[in-house]
Amino acid sequence: MSEPTIIEKVQEVLDKLRPFLLRDGGDCELVDVEDGIVKLRLLGACGTCPSSTITLKAGIERALFEEVPGVVEVEQVF
C-alpha cells in the first residue's frame, strides 16, 4: 500500500474537523496544497463569520501542523 499524499492527509484532518464546522452551520473545502501551503475555502456560516480567521488559524491550521508533516501555512481563498 502506498503512502498517502499530503493532499490525502490534509483531507483526512479536514474530515475529522468537519462535524464541528457543520454543527455551527459552516464547512470548508480543500482547494489545493502547493509548496506546503494549504488553500481552503470556508463555506456556509464559516464564510461570513467574523471568527472565521480564528477558526482557520487556531483550529484548522493548528490541527494540520500537528498531523500533516510538510504543511507550512493555511490560506483562505474566496
**Structure-model confidence comparison of residues 8 and 48, the more confident one:** 8
Distance CA 9, CA 67 (A): 8
Residue 72, sorted as left (phi over 0), alpha (psi -120 to 50) or beta, turns out to be: alpha
Residue-wise pLDDT tens digits, 10-45: 999 999 999 999 998 999 999 999 999 999 999 998
Distance CA 38, CA 72 (A): 8
Sheet (strand 73-76) strand order = 26-34, 37-44, 73-76
Domain ranges, ordered by start, for the chain: 6-76
**CATH homologous superfamily for the domain 6-76:** Fe-S cluster assembly (FSCA) (3.30.300.130)
Cell reading at 57: 488559524
H or E element, residue 32? strand 26-34
pLDDT for res 66? 97
pLDDT for res 11? 98
Distance CA 30, CA 43 (A): 11
